[in-house]
Homo-oligomer: A and B are copies of this chain.
């Protein structure tokens, strides 16, 4: 099969012929139809410090995808839940199932997590083999949406962690694809006001397409003043910090109301100075670090929202490329011209 491979400790990826993966006894073999390109893939392409410290090339890249089951291992078949021909996506974090986290509802924090396209072969390929327990049936969700349920799930986790979104005010700080999805999730979950900010106007336009009531550009707008004005001076109930910038953190804490909540997904590359007394303690704030998707309650809620049509992420998809045009896909992301970019792998 064809696959995009990080061949060695160098920038870029290579389109190669590689063997179709084996389908283990508890696996599903999936013919990949579409895959999403993620910021993580950009780090891998660039071979930055994080990538070179984590990947062990050669490895097939790609962790967001959807496709069709073409084979099932004996145990997976015996379970009777999946069938050849099913259209599916999958949770890309493969966890141990046995540690304290896995056994107490925090499998998304398993220390033995192996991520497809990072720690083992991924989905920018003709086929991928996945543990059956990680596979999610689309059951009516379009394949193109299925291909990006991994990052949509990040947004669902970020918006819904801590509950009480109906009737609330939400500030989404950073409008990359997951930030844009978060705007849509907040609207679908009944937020009364969704404000989004980003320096990139194209991204703000995507955020509006996902339902943000108000978009702000820190290059032009006094973001904090506007957030306060829009909330009667109180600040918002929930900040979704999607930017990963230290300046974003300060703004996040300042924008949250007394007793409010800041859920942090954007991963900063350097430390942030925090005035805990002023910004956290005297404000009675709750901060929560978001990793991955809750397994599998996030997936369950997300599938409901997508199937009912409450959440439609397609306005965020701006580009579609075939596998061989990965350099173009990476390019539009680097240039800040893209929302979500899809690789169309098979019809």
Q: Which residues from chain A sit less than 8 Å from chain B, CB to CB?
A: 79, 81, 96-98, 100-101, 103-106, 108-109, 111, 133, 160, 163-169, 188-190, 192-193, 234, 244, 249, 257-259, 264-265, 267-269, 271-277, 280-291, 295-297, 299-302, 304-305, 307-308, 310
Q: Contacting A305 at CB < 8 Å: which of B96, B167, B275, B284?
A: B167
Q: Is the CB of B289 within 8 A of A264?
A: no
Name which residue of chain B comes closest to A213, CB basis.
Answer: B308
- Please give 8 more A-B residue pairs, beta carbons under 8 A apart, in addition to A109-B283, A163-B164, A190-B190: A106-B284, A108-B284, A109-B258, A192-B308, A268-B277, A274-B274, A281-B289, A283-B289
Give the docked Cα–Cα distance between A236 and B111 (Å).
16
* Minimum CB–CB distance for A252 against chain B, Å: 10
Give the docked Cα–Cα distance between A167 and B281 (Å).
25
Name which residue of chain B comes closest to A267, CB basis.
Answer: B277
Task: Known contacts A273-B273, A275-B271, A286-B286; decide if A101 and B189 are in contact (CB<8 Å).
Answer: no
Q: Is the CB of A289 within 8 A of B276?
A: yes
Inter-chain contacts of A104 with B (CB < 8 A): 259, 296-297, 300
Give the docked Cα–Cα distance between A255 and B133 (Å).
28
Q: Is the CB of B289 within 8 A of A100?
A: no
Q: Is the CB of B188 within 8 A of A190?
A: yes
* Minimum CB–CB distance for A132 against chain B, Å: 8
* Minimum CB–CB distance for A152 against chain B, Å: 12
Inter-chain contacts of A289 with B (CB < 8 A): 276, 280-286
Q: Is the CB of B269 within 8 A of A307?
A: no
Give the docked Cα–Cα distance between A139 and B161 (Å).
30
Name which residue of chain B comes closest to A290, CB basis.
Answer: B281
Name which residue of chain B comes closest to A101, CB basis.
Answer: B258
* Minimum CB–CB distance for A228 against chain B, Å: 13
* Minimum CB–CB distance for A131 against chain B, Å: 12
Q: Is the CB of B109 within 8 A of A259?
A: yes
Inter-chain contacts of A274 with B (CB < 8 A): 271-274
Give the docked Cα–Cα distance between A259 and B81 (Å).
21
Inter-chain contacts of A307 with B (CB < 8 A): 192
Q: Which 4 A-B pairs have the closest CB atoms?
A: A166-B189, A281-B289, A280-B289, A192-B308
Q: Is the CB of A190 within 8 A of B167?
A: no
Inter-chain contacts of A305 with B (CB < 8 A): 166-167, 190, 192
Inter-chain contacts of A290 with B (CB < 8 A): 281, 284
Give the docked Cα–Cα distance between A274 and B123 (Å).
34
Inter-chain contacts of A133 with B (CB < 8 A): 97-98
Inter-chain contacts of A269 with B (CB < 8 A): 277
Q: Is the CB of B190 within 8 A of A165?
A: yes
Give the docked Cα–Cα distance between A67 and B11 (Å).
55
Inter-chain contacts of A291 with B (CB < 8 A): 281-284
* Minimum CB–CB distance for A38 against chain B, Å: 16
Task: Known contacts A109-B283, A166-B165, A287-B286; decide if A268 and B273 are in contact (CB<8 Å).
Answer: no
Give the docked Cα–Cα distance between A297 and B165 (Å).
13
Q: Is the CB of A304 within 8 A of B167?
A: yes
Inter-chain contacts of A163 with B (CB < 8 A): 163-164
Most buried by B among A163, A188, A267, A287: A287
Inter-chain contacts of A277 with B (CB < 8 A): 244, 267-269
Inter-chain contacts of A188 with B (CB < 8 A): 166-167, 190
